[in-house]
Amino acid sequence: MLNIEQGRYEEALHFYQAKLRKPLDGHGLATTNFYLASIYEKLGEVEKQREHLEYVAANGNLLYIARVARDKLGLSDKNKATEDGQISGEII
């Protein structure tokens, strides 16, 4: 997460993509996908962001990040997706 906070998105992207290729439990998969969604948001890649948010929303169960993902995707009353397909709000 440090690379994300420092604005080093490409480094963070490679780190989390590599992490997905390793065996992870459900929490690890949800968290990694959530960070990838955050990175893609910063890079302006909305479709890739959506793909990772959808994974978190569907598989994060009761994790807070799953609720945030559902909110960003408009799957709850709060933080609806905009009409032009953009995802509202910022993750991190």
Q: How far apart are CA 35 and CA 82, in angstroms?
A: 22
Residue 5's pLDDT is 78
* Per-residue exposure over 66-89, b if at least 16 CB sit within 10 Å of its own CB, e if not: bbbbbbbbebeeeeebeeeeebee
Q: Total domain count for the chain?
A: 1
Q: Which pTM value belongs to this model?
A: 0.79
Would you place residue 79 in the very low, low, confident or very high pLDDT band (cuts 50, 70, 90)? very low
Indicate whether 37 belongs to any domain.
yes
Domain encompassing residue 31: 2-72
Taking only the tens place, the pLDDT of each residue in 40-78 is: 999 999 999 999 999 999 999 999 999 999 999 999 754
Helix (H, G, I), strand (E, B) or coil at 62: coil
Which residue has better confidence, 81 or 85? 85
61 belongs to a structural domain: yes
Does residue 45 form part of some domain? yes
Confidence band for 19, pLDDT divided at 50, 70 and 90: very high
CATH number at residue 59: 1.25.40
| Cα four-point dihedral sign 81, 1, 51, 13 | positive
50, part of any domain: yes
DSSP state of 80: P
